[in-house]
Amino acid sequence: MNLIRPFAGLRPAPGRAADVIAPPYDVLNTDEARVRAAGKPWSFLHISKPEIDLPAGTDPYSAVVYAKGRENFRKLLDAGVLRRDPGPYYYVYRLVMGAHQQTGIVAAASVSDYDTNRIRRHEFTRPDKEDDRVRQIEALNAQTGPVFLTYRRSPVVDTIIDEVARAAPEVDVTADDGVRHTLWVMRDRQQIDTITAAFDAMPCLYIADGHHRSAAASRVAAARKGANPKHTGVEAYNYFLSVIFPDNQMQILDYNRAVKDLNRLTCEDFLKQIETAFRTQPEPAAVIPEQAGEFGLYLQGQWYRLNIKPERIPANDPVKRLDVSLLQDNLVSPVLGVHDPRRDKRIDFVGGIRGLQELERRVDSGEMACAFSLYPTSMADLMSVADAGEVMPPKSTWFEPKLADGLVSHLLG
């Protein structure tokens, strides 16, 4: 089996992409999705968040929601808004957000290689979220939410991507969030074969985002294999929808923290306690950390720059050396008493896309007592953790720009 393979993608008909594509299912809540889909009958949100077409308060995990998603998917197919390509292709996909640009390959990735950790993960998954994705895949008989993968850049792959992207694109749409999505279809068999061989020569791929989608694809494949006495390994369910970018083009933003209280400490005692592990300095403006090991603290209308003391950085532990770990292990847990950031309701996480003004707003409003700005996790750190077979702390990476749902889907039958 190949690490990746081409497939006959299900795509918006010519001229319909702007009507269809939508943000990923997990970046909008139900109310936000309902607003974004208003007046847009072909928006993919009717498939990825079908509860928006049901009465308010409907449990998004109820059977009626998955059935509604299947019904809405069928409407797009029957109306010809979505069409399946006639042959197995790769797709070149470019995302542009402001000055940032990244270009990669849409492909079907091997479930078997995911199962054996050749497609490497760095996060835990939750069974309830896996269950949701399994039910969505089974309801549609398709994978519609791509898994965001990365690879160590390959000159061979880069050359072919550049060749394909010289032609006029088949889709070129700027979404309502300002992100530009451009798609080319790779139909040339020699280019397709070269891409397949180049990825087969790679030791591994890395999941950037989409751990629940890939885990769900694995579960669906195992169930269908067990129910298929004629299983060969080439069936569509043995692969999952992915978009794969080179590591040198990936953009990780900061993933910041805010805590509701100071663990019954006064501000003076809190600042004194954190000096055990950090050098602290008041700053006149919002602190954007300039390097690993540096943090911003916003407390009572005042910003502080915190620098971890070098002796506090573990030498050979790829997880404990992460800035998210250094902050958790040296301040959030011992000083603020938040020992389990996965479950403790006193801590919240704020994606860097929202800016530091969001941290200030939440503290100034009284919702939070303090907030921390972090230096972004690097791709090298992510790959080191995955290579070690470890997992990152929760909310370690915030990737931007986000992939679009509905641009290319992978049918399982």
Considering the domain architecture, whether residues 246 and 286 belong to the same structural domain is answered as no
Q: What is the pLDDT of residue 83?
A: 98
Considering the domain architecture, whether residues 233 and 286 belong to the same structural domain is answered as no
Q: Residue 136 falls within a domain, yes or no?
A: yes
Considering the domain architecture, whether residues 90 and 63 belong to the same structural domain is answered as yes
Considering the domain architecture, whether residues 116 and 167 belong to the same structural domain is answered as yes
Question: Residues with Cβ < 8 Å from 256, sequence gap 6 or more?
Answer: 349, 350, 351, 352, 356, 359, 371, 372, 373, 374
Q: What is the pLDDT of residue 292?
A: 97
Question: Residues with Cβ < 8 Å from 382, sequence gap 6 or more?
Answer: 122, 206, 208, 252, 392, 396, 397
Q: What is the pLDDT of residue 159?
A: 97
**Residue 302 contacts residue 308 (beta carbons within 8 Å):** no
Q: Residue 296 falls within a domain, yes or no?
A: yes
Alpha helices in 171-245 (DSSP H): 189-200, 211-227
Considering the domain architecture, whether residues 261 and 337 belong to the same structural domain is answered as yes
Q: What is the pLDDT of residue 411?
A: 98
Has this prediction a pTM greater than 0.85? yes
Considering the domain architecture, whether residues 68 and 169 belong to the same structural domain is answered as yes
DSSP class per residue in 128-172: HHHHHHHHHHHHHTEE-S-EEEEE---HHHHHHHHHHTTSPPSEE
Rounded to 10 deg, the angle between the 63-78 and 127-140 helix axes is: 40
CATH number for the domain harbouring residue 329: 3.30.1760
Phi, psi at 33, each rounded to 5°: -65, -40
Q: Which amino acid is at 110?
A: S
Considering the domain architecture, whether residues 124 and 57 belong to the same structural domain is answered as yes
Rounded to 10 deg, the angle between the 189-200 and 155-164 helix axes is: 150
Q: How many other C-beta atoms can be found within 10 angstroms of the C-beta atom of residue 339?
A: 11
**Residue 334 contacts residue 307 (beta carbons within 8 Å):** no
Considering the domain architecture, whether residues 101 and 228 belong to the same structural domain is answered as yes
Q: Residue 382 falls within a domain, yes or no?
A: no
User: What is the rounded CA–CA span in Å between residue 13 and residue 88?
Assistant: 17
Q: Residue 300 falls within a domain, yes or no?
A: yes
What is the distance, to the nearest Å, from the Cα of residue 366 to the centroid of all Cα atoms in its chain? 30
One digit per residue, the tens of pLDDT, for the chain of length 413 reads 899 999 999 999 999 999 999 999 988 999 999 999 999 999 999 999 999 999 999 999 999 999 999 999 999 999 999 999 999 999 999 999 999 999 999 999 999 999 999 999 999 998 999 999 999 999 999 999 999 999 999 999 999 999 999 999 999 999 988 999 999 999 999 999 999 999 999 999 999 999 999 999 999 999 999 999 999 999 999 999 999 999 999 999 999 999 999 999 999 999 999 999 999 999 999 999 999 999 999 999 999 999 999 999 998 899 999 999 999 999 999 999 999 998 899 999 999 999 999 999 999 999 999 999 999 999 999 999 999 999 999 899 999 999 999 999 999 98
Q: Residue 386 falls within a domain, yes or no?
A: no
Q: Residue 384 falls within a domain, yes or no?
A: no
Q: Which residues pair with 374 in a beta bridge?
A: 295
In the chain, the number of structural domains is 2
Going from the C-alpha of 342 to that of each of 96, 185, 346, 349, 362, the distances in angstroms are 32, 41, 11, 10, 20
φ/ψ bin of 278: left (φ > 0), alpha (ψ from -120 to 50), beta (otherwise) = beta
Considering the domain architecture, whether residues 31 and 180 belong to the same structural domain is answered as yes
Q: Residue 388 falls within a domain, yes or no?
A: no
**Residue 372 contacts residue 257 (beta carbons within 8 Å):** yes
Considering the domain architecture, whether residues 329 and 342 belong to the same structural domain is answered as yes
Q: Which two tokens stand for residue 48?
A: 């990825």
Q: What is the pLDDT of residue 176?
A: 87
Q: What is the DSSP letter of 310?
A: G
Q: What is the pLDDT of residue 1?
A: 86
Which residue's structure tokens are 């299900």? 10
Q: Coil, helix or strand for 350?
A: strand
Q: Which residue range(s) make up the domain with 354?
A: 255-375
Considering the domain architecture, whether residues 157 and 266 belong to the same structural domain is answered as no
Q: What is the pLDDT of residue 291?
A: 97
Question: Residues with Cβ < 8 Å from 290, sequence gap 6 or more?
Answer: 375
Q: Residue 12 falls within a domain, yes or no?
A: yes
DSSP class per residue in 41-61: TT-THHHHSGGGGS-TT--TT
Considering the domain architecture, whether residues 188 and 244 belong to the same structural domain is answered as yes
